[in-house]
Amino acid sequence: MLRGAMNKRRVWILGGVLGLLCACGGSAATETKAPTEEQAPLPPFDVTSTRAFTGPEGLRIEVVELRSGEALVYATGVRSELADKAFLANPEREEPYFRYQLKWHGRTINMLVRRDSSDGTGSWHAYMPDATRDGFALQYSEELSGKVDAKSIYDLHARQARSGELAAVQAFDRAAEEANVREEIESNAKHVAQSCGVSIPMMVNFKTVSDEEILSKSISGYCDSIYTGLRNICDNEAGKRFVAANVKSVTCSFDGKGDLDRDGTQLKWAIGFDVVNLDQKATAELKTLKVENGTLHDQLLAADTNVCTDPSGKYVLMFGPADAPHHGMAYGQGKELFYVHAPEALGGTWFFDPRQKNEQNNPSFRGYDLRYFSQVEADRGKGTCKVICGTREIPMRLLDEKAKAEAMRDVEFAPGPLDREPYALARDRQGTYYYVDRGITPELAKDFHLYKGKRGKMKPLAMRDVVSDSEGEIFASESGKLRLIVGKEEAQWVTGEQPRKLTRLPLGENYGLIYNELGMYLGNRFGVPCDDL
């Protein structure tokens, strides 16, 4: 088998033709033994019918049906390994398909297929390796069918069978299959070289792959998962530097569960055909590789983190990936920083600070009212950083890699000082407000506080009980009960027999009132840059 022909064969398979054939009801065979030297006896020359089809590019296919139940299929006029050879095929019917199946390099393929329609008509297609991925649409010719020279086709099949010409196309060739896998991997390696800037050859341990698996699976496709992981790592400049310095070659074997070992500059990728999400697993395994002061994952997170300081260097702002030690964003002085909640849905650069307001921001973006959010921006290309608090812009200094590494070393992180969030707000006609907040963490989500009072003079009430049921919620204190009614924009303040009707106020539209005017949080630090800048 010529190498070029084998390349075309592999491209035809991976291009999806066999998948298309299987969609027509066929299935790729998993036979692993080549035919013996002794050829099977020819069926008797007893013809029951002949068929002829024409297609594009001069394609012509003739079929000789034999009483033995088999058929001879002979194609001409197109460049393919199957052309100009008279194959013995097996007719097979599985509604709504009728197929002529034959062996091709150890696989069962559907060379000629008819699909029947509900109106009684049908359409024919030929699938010819090396010629096209999508197959040829055929036209049945009544005239040519009567002119098929069945005896010549039968004799041609006999000669080609005796000479071994048919076996060369139909037999499984393990060495050629392995060579094709190697060539496909070499092609995949070019993409890694483009992404990582270095050539990383891969060797496949074929001892861990059976004949059946090499026939039915895409060996190079499975092994390419480690190349995909390397390309993902190289998307990060720090990852690219690591790969260039530490990865010189890769081996791929099929005796593991997605296990990655490193032996010097060689990666050993042990996988299995039953392992799912191999691309993601390869990326995750690569990130666990040990580097100085941690893992490659730690190094990548640090590379994607920006660190800015005020001009004096007193205040430090750190922001980047949410799974980094700073949890996306942190702010403080020196080595003691507070976590700052920066929603990933907002890109991880916005943080809630209702004391600041910018009416120019979008009031409804992915469920957030950005008028009450502040933002940090960094441009590594320009070496700039700034914090936007409401309508104010505060320039900061973006640290270079060396200064950033020092700033990130030995940092201690802690939850921010603002540990509560609004839960409910109501008001009576006399301007008395009733307000409930709760703990901001999941552990304190049921820790409610109740406040009552005029604007700027809110006082906490000693809580006695909290009741929640299908009718609503009741927050009981020693001086009264605040009742929130489910499904209604109203509330009640109960001190005796007659409840006082209250108006519920939407929280999102009253952040400024809650944090700046009612008085519960006045003077409190939020642990965000706008506290100081």
The DSSP result for 283-322, as a single string, is: HHHHHTSEETTEEHHHHHHHHT-EEEE-TTS-EEEEE--T
Token pair 């307001």 is found at: 357
Compute the Cα dihedral for 403, 409, 415, 417 and give only its sign.
Answer: negative
pLDDT at res. 131: 63
Residue 409 in tokens: 């070393």
Give the chain's length: 533
pTM across the whole model:
0.74
pLDDT at res. 448: 96
Measured distance CA(194)–CA(245) in Å, rounded: 16
Q: Is the peptide bond before 343 cis (omega within 30 degrees of 0)?
A: no
Compute the Cα dihedral for 167, 171, 174, 176 and give only its sign.
Answer: positive
Long-range pairs for 451-455: beta carbons < 8 A, 24 or more residues apart: 451/518, 451/520, 452/479, 452/480, 453/518, 453/519, 455/431, 455/513, 455/517, 455/518, 455/519
pLDDT at res. 132: 66
Measured distance CA(516)–CA(354) in Å, rounded: 8
Measured distance CA(60)–CA(413) in Å, rounded: 76
**What is the mean pLDDT, run by run of 10 residues, along the chain of 533 residues?**
41 38 36 46 94 94 97 95 96 94 92 91 89 83 96 97 94 93 96 97 98 94 98 96 97 97 97 97 97 93 97 96 96 96 94 94 94 96 96 97 95 94 95 96 93 96 92 92 83 89 93 95 94 95
pLDDT at res. 82: 94
